[in-house]
Amino acid sequence: MKIKFKRELSYLSFAMPAFLVYTILTIYPLAQTLWLSFTNWDGYSMENLSFVGFQNFENIFSDKAMVTALWNTCFYSIVFPILVTVFAIPLAIILNSRMSTRNFQRAVFFFPSVPSTIILGYLWPYILVPTQSGVLNQFLGLFGIRPVLWLADPKWAMVSVIMVGMWSSMGWHACIYLAKLQSIPTDYYEAAIIDGANSWQKFKYFTLEILL
């Protein structure tokens, strides 16, 4: 028992520095933020600090702008992962094909995930200008489509944010699925073909099951 305890103590001694850093930089700030949320702290001075209970939360949920922001955040958090998964899996299957240009195509789709968020923040507002001079609206104008209020209309603004997020991350997710696809033994598909499975059945019962 003592030998086992000493062995575990040696393991804990290696983990203790990381745990202390995590506690100081993450756990303590979170606990302090939770405590301050129940006080009247003004964000600057700790003087005259008093407990106000759930008053701050009542003020937040009674503010229409804050409720709208929370709703938009929840909507984005639910819709964005679903759309990325729905489009990334078929893209990974296409990139896993035996086309001669597959390496070039993988690089093209992965490239949008390389630039930082700051660069994307500078680039896309010029593309999504809601007037005729916007890059995307000029492209749509070639097909006779009137300018879209990408960033001026609340509904289109949400569409724009999701679209940019998908553009920047779908290739990265597709590469992850692609790595998983390449680890699937070809024997599974060969056995399925022998059993008479079609393309949809192979995708549903092998590819999709393994990826998800």
Under 8 Å between Cβ of 167 and 112: yes
User: Two tokens at 64?
Assistant: 């229409």
SS3 43: coil
Residue identified by tokens 């006779």 is 144
Report pLDDT for 75.
92
Under 8 Å between Cβ of 136 and 142: no
Report pLDDT for 114.
72
CA-nearest of 207, 209, 210, 7 to 90 is: 207
Going along the chain from its start, the domains and CATH numbers come out as 2-59 (no CATH), 63-211 (1.10.3720.10)
Report pLDDT for 74.
92
Spatial distance between the Cα atoms of 93 and 109, rounded to a whole number of angstroms: 13
For the chain, which residues score pLDDT lower than 50? none
pLDDT tens digits along 103-139: 777 777 777 777 777 777 788 888 888 878 788 888 8
**Could you give the residue ranges of the DSSP H alpha helices within the chain?**
2-22, 28-36, 55-61, 64-95, 102-110, 117-127, 135-141, 154-182, 186-194, 199-202, 208-211
Report pLDDT for 199.
75
Under 8 Å between Cβ of 97 and 182: no
Residue identified by tokens 């509904």 is 155
